[in-house]
Chain A
Amino acid sequence: MNVHDYEKLWIGLSMVLIVLFIGSITYGSVVAGVVMIDDAADPVDPDALGDHPDFGDPGVTQTGEDTYEVHVVAFHPGFNPDVIEVPANSTVTFHVTSMDVIHSFSIVGTNANSMVIPGEVSSMTVELGAPNRYGIVCNEYCGEFHHLMEGELVVVPEDEFELEADE
């Protein structure tokens, strides 16, 4: 093989780039603690969500002093619940599934972004800071009214937060 010295240098630099990219991604996982959506949650039957202990009555539940769970059912074209109210400075875990086609649950302008697949549950935990309002969109095409699908995450001051009573 007859590889020019400059090209050998470039191959070396290319390997440096690849190591840099894989290295920073690993840093993001191990040091910064970013976790990928995975297979931790058990599958669900998309036709029987009404009978599911959590998705049968989706919404916010408190699980600890500053920790909350939010169950969300995505459908074409909306989220149930469509407005999610949670207190500031809390840790919130979203569990999102779909009763029909593939959707996404994406909190706009943030890193909280997940595909929502019928039969599977997307679970993701985020730490909330100060009071704020975020839009939620479905960014996976799901049918002819896809563009109508939106929701809102409202982070309210801790002293104004109240859990909605079960209907």
Chain B
Amino acid sequence: MRTAHREIGHDEFDPVGTLTLVIGYFLLLVVLWIFVYFVEFLGRELTVVGVVV
């Protein structure tokens, strides 16, 4: 079942797939954050602006 086809050592392994996935995640976080913070949150009414009285 889990037979390794080949042994890959530390110096011959570049996790390029991992880098691709985490950069995708980075972009997703930035887009979602901008949407929730600046559109959903700051775009809403009745925002608490500090005690006037």
The answer to whether A and B interact is yes
A69 within 8 A of B: yes
Q: How many residues of B contact A (CB 8 A)?
A: 26
Within 8 A of B (CB), among A22-81: 24-25, 28, 32-37, 40, 63, 67, 69
Interface of A is mostly: mixed
Given A24-B33, A28-B42, also A67-B22 (CB < 8 A): no
B46 within 8 A of A: yes
B48 touches A124 (CB 8 A): yes
B30 within 8 A of A: yes
Given A107-B46, A110-B46, A126-B48, also A13-B26 (CB < 8 A): yes
For B26, give the chain A residue with the smallest CB separation.
A13
Tell me the smallest distance from the CB of A39 to a CB of chain B, in Å.
11
One of A10, A93, A109 near B52 (C-beta < 8 A): A93
**Alpha-carbon gap, A125 to B50, bound state (A):** 5
A35 touches B48 (CB 8 A): yes
- Collect the chain B residues with CB atoms within 8 Å of residue A28's CB: 37, 41-42
B52 touches A35 (CB 8 A): no
Chain A residues within 8 Å of B, Cβ to Cβ: 2, 4, 6-7, 9-10, 13, 17, 20-21, 24-25, 28, 32-37, 40, 63, 67, 69, 91, 93, 107, 109-112, 114, 123-129, 134
28 contacts between A and B (CB under 8 A): A4-B14, A4-B15, A6-B15, A6-B16, A7-B15, A13-B22, A17-B26, A20-B33, A24-B38, A28-B42, A35-B48, A35-B49, A36-B48, A40-B51, A67-B52, A69-B53, A93-B52, A93-B53, A107-B46, A110-B46, A111-B45, A111-B47, A112-B47, A124-B48, A125-B50, A125-B51, A125-B52, A127-B47
